[in-house]
């Protein structure tokens, strides 16, 4: 939205000359009154009416005739303006109709005040409370910190599970959180993006710890976090998991759907073009009994997080 025509802007305390288009003027201005916040509220209501219905509620090139017709309609309807194009439009929400009708009121003192307009339910529905937003981001950071401490096996399993667990609606919410980090909408997050958000919401984390967390998050050493990586790191997938999805995760990495060993794990990673530090993989499977993970072991490893 752009604000234009500042050539018509005036000091409402000093200027009494009539300026602007009659169809957007408040009745008191047409009647040679002075400009006020109330007259601005009327004009804003007319604009909203036009945006909502593609029609002006009152129209006449002669401001005196226009004033008389509005005044007559008001007096004939017990101080109410009918606004048929608005009231009969089924595509306009009841909240927006209510706001516009509270703006387009003949008597200035009866119009909704600007402070009350901002608190109206039509505008409130577009707000994202700061507290809720902050809590969501803190939860995301908590998940990221936890993910960064996982071993290489768990991270790659999470990466796969993120693909099969998230619904389209859940992905929309995650995308809005991803955009908090990727504020320039590059499509990926770099360290400076991550550092900026952490410093804002978790200022107690020092630089050494922050770099360690980033290293754990960027476990493929790609120097950037794609949206798919972000999903894996922030996924609270246990609430979405079913037996079938657990089985799918296991079978994705398993050999003949029986067990997972280092060879089957590496083979799967190669098909997904992931670049993983081989030392990390060797270290992990050396810590596993007989280097083999069966289904129950798989569930235990994943559910432990």
> Model confidence over 6-21: pLDDT tens digits?
666 666 555 556 667 8
SS3 255: strand
Q: In the structure, what pLDDT confidence band is assigned to residue 135 with cuts at 50, 70 and 90?
A: confident
Mean pLDDT for 204-218 is 92
Mark whether 119 and 154 lie in a shared domain. no
Least confident of 11-15, 222-226, 240-244: 11-15
240 CB burial (10 A radius; 0-12, 13-18, 19+): middle
Mark whether 87 and 221 lie in a shared domain. no
Which of 124, 143, 172 is at the close of a domain? 124
Mark whether 165 and 296 lie in a shared domain. yes
Higher pLDDT, 49 or 171: 49
Q: State the pTM of this model.
A: 0.53
- Domain with 238, as residue range(s), is 130-303
Q: What token pair was written down for 114?
A: 């600007």
Mark whether 266 and 145 lie in a shared domain. yes
CA distance 219 to 212: 11
Residue-wise pLDDT for 59-95, tens only, equals: 998 989 999 999 999 999 999 999 999 999 999 999 9
pLDDT at 68: 94
Mark whether 171 and 245 lie in a shared domain. yes
Residue 267 lies in a domain: yes
CA distance 239 to 245: 12
Specify the number of domains making up the chain. 2
pLDDT at 111: 96
Which of 124, 156, 191 is at the close of a domain? 124
């Amino acid at each position: 939205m752009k604000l234009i025509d500042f050539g018509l802007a005036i000091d409402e305390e000093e200027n009494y000359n009539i300026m602007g288009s009659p169809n957007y003027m408040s009745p008191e201005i047409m009647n040679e009154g002075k400009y006020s916040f109330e007259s601005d509220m009327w004009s804003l209501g007319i604009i909203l009416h036009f945006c909502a219905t593609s029609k002006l509620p009152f129209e006449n090139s002669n401001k005196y005739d226009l004033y008389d017709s509005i005044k007559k309609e008001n007096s004939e309807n017990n101080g109410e303006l009918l606004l048929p194009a608005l009231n009969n439009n089924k595509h306009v929400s009841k909240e927006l109709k209510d706001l516009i009708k509270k703006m387009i009121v003949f008597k200035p003192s009866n119009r909704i005040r600007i402070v009350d307009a901002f608190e109206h339910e039509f505008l409130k529905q577009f707000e994202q409370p700061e507290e809720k937003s902050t809590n969501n981001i803190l939860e995301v950071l908590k998940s990221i910190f936890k993910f960064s401490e996982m071993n290489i096996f768990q991270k790659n399993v999470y990466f796969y599970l993120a693909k099969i667990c998230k619904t389209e609606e859940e992905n929309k919410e995650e995308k809005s959180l991803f955009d908090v980090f990727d504020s320039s909408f590059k499509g990926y997050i770099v360290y400076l993006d991550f550092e900026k958000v952490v410093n804002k919401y978790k200022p107690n984390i020092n630089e050494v710890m922050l770099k360690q967390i980033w290293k754990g998050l960027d476990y493929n050493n790609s120097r950037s976090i794609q949206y798919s990586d972000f999903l894996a790191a922030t996924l609270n997938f246990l609430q979405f998991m079913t037996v079938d999805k657990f089985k799918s995760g296991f079978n994705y990495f398993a050999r003949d759907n029986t067990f997972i060993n280092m060879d089957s794990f590496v083979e799967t990673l190669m098909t997904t073009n992931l670049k993983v530090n081989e030392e990390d993989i060797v270290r992990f499977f050396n810590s596993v009994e007989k280097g083999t993970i069966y289904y129950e072991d798989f569930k235990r490893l994943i559910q432990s997080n």
